[in-house]
Amino acid sequence: MTKTNSNKTLLGLLAALALCSCGGGTSDPASSDTKPDGSEASSSQEAFDPDTPVTIKFWHTMGKQNEDILTGMIREFNKVYPNITVEESSASGSYDDLCSLILSNVSTGNLPTMAFCYPDHVAEYIDRNAVVNMETYVDHELYGFTEEEGKSVDEQGAVRVGAADYVRSFWKEGKEYMKEGLYSVPFAKSTEALFYNKTLFDQNGYEVPKTWDEMWELCRTIRGDYPAKGDDGEYTYYPLGYDSDSNLFITLCEQLGLDYTTNDLTNHDSHFIFNNEGVRGMLTELKGLYDEGLFKTKGTSANSTYTSTKFTSGEIFMSIGSTGGTSYNDTQNFEVGVAVPPTTDLNDPAVISQGPSICFFNRATKAQTTAAWLFYKFISNAQNSVIYGVSTGYQPVRYSSYETPVYERFLEESGADNIFVKVAETSATMFDDYFTSPVFVGSAKARDEVGKVVPSVLMGTKSVNDALNQAMSNCVNYTRE
């Protein structure tokens, strides 16, 4: 099935299946929200009333196809809550651009009720007292989670409902800030996958590597089989590409047990601890492998071209990239295989967790916040989470999503050769292997800086020491306007 037909299948399922939700009530949870000046939010704010019109604003970064799915969910949501008007708008640019837009509006109060976010961004919002602690909503008598929204059973036979039904690492992420509370909730998560040219692998008898040692051994074999160079001296083909220089650095640090960043300031002078001997050794080894012509990254490619682009054109035989970008790794030029990315130790694997969460801003009234919470519960219920996820390559955020009729129908109708099916099935095997990095004001800066270190070292524009020293200086002296 082609990429286009796969998307049509999912949109058809969206239209065919009723999207479930739960009703609301008439009282509002207690709140410990604070205003941007740090004072308590007014207790006299109007409580939610399902018969009173209320408008909420949702800012996100969805493209048109995903936004169309969201629009369909809003229509279904309004069948249950006709009094709630959801004004959704897609901010131009990246998640970081959306973060910058929100931060620039904190002082003016022109904020949405809810928005896409990454943990690094929420740390900035918390620092400015701009977001709501949503903990009191989770188990609220009227507005808390219900079994109808999603229920699953774990390996020990225990029933998981509400927060427990969300993939553990996804939900835990929203509580791992330097301020106690629940400041973000998962919407659509992604990880990284190894996309490979299965046609070429089958022709040459290559085996998909599971560890980095196996990966580099295979890359050397491929380099020997495909040694040609162009007039510019560049290899015509590359064994491996990595779409994110930052993810390569951070993932290897996690897998190798190397210091990257920390929230333990009792034992460290700074959050930034990546300028250490272990990291210097890791970068030196990567430089040697790069000089052998074994891999490319986005940062080392001409015009910073994503390696997925060269993968689909056949110039790169394997590419490690976000499952949220699955469509960019789909091609009719050859059969695409999907596998778990390589790890250092198969007994202790580690793959990065990414993808948008949602946070709620405290400039809204309590009625708006409650309405936004009800909308969040709806778009992340078992069925809606899987509908959004499998059509994009993102992962559903609830365990129960994988037991829904819509998921089963997706697998049946799409076929085993569909890349979205392959990604969904591969991602589902990695639930227990996800990791996230410490979150604090400046953690996004650290990610950005180490992402610059990798290409500068690989391409030889800076020594390992100079690159790390500069990155550390930029991080330590970081201030966000």
In this predicted structure, what is the pLDDT of residue 30? Answer: 38
In this predicted structure, what is the pLDDT of residue 307? Answer: 96
Which stretches in the chain have pLDDT values below 50? 1-7, 9-10, 13-15, 17-45
CB 116 within 8 A of CB 379: no
- Give tens-digit pLDDT for 314-343: 999 999 999 989 999 999 999 999 999 999
In this predicted structure, what is the pLDDT of residue 6? Answer: 46
- Give tens-digit pLDDT for 80-130: 999 999 999 999 888 999 999 999 999 998 999 999 999 999 999 999 999
- Give tens-digit pLDDT for 21-76: 344 333 344 343 444 444 344 333 467 898 999 999 999 999 888 999 999 999 99
User: Across all residues in the chain, what is the average pLDDT?
Assistant: 90
In this predicted structure, what is the pLDDT of residue 12? Answer: 54
In this predicted structure, what is the pLDDT of residue 232? Answer: 87
